[in-house]
Amino acid sequence: MILSWVVAVAALAVAILAWVRTRRLAQRLDQLLQMYWELKYQHGELRRELQQLTGESHQSAPAMSGVERSAPQRPTQPTDAFVPLASLKR
């Protein structure tokens, strides 16, 4: 009888500790998410300010290093082709 009470109290203690830790982790996650979105917003603001200072036009995609902006991008050729099974049954 006493053993079952000890096990029940220990399980309750572990559950409370897990709940407290989960609450702390949830609060930390909220902080990190807020910091992420603030940083992303500040990055966009700084990029826009830099573009205004340098006179660059707005680009939808960031430029890749080593590739000239004026050179057109060639589409990549697929290495595998789809072959329907009906054409193989001949």
pLDDT-derived band at 1, boundaries 50, 70, 90: confident
Residue 45: pLDDT over 70: yes
Q: What is the pLDDT of residues 52-88, one digit of tens each?
A: 998 877 665 555 555 555 556 666 765 676 667 776 7
Instruction: Determine the pLDDT at residue 74.
Output: 65
Alpha-carbon torsion (20, 21, 22, 23), positive or negative? positive
Torsion of CA 81, 82, 83, 84, to 10 degrees: -170
Percentage of the chain exceeding pLDDT 70 = 68
pLDDT computed for residue 50 by the predictor: 93
Task: Tell me if 51 sits within 8 A of 58, measured CB to CB.
Answer: yes
Residue from 33, 36, 14 nearest 25 by CA? 33
Nearest to 47 by CA among 65, 34, 37, 62: 62
For residue 31, is pLDDT > 70? yes
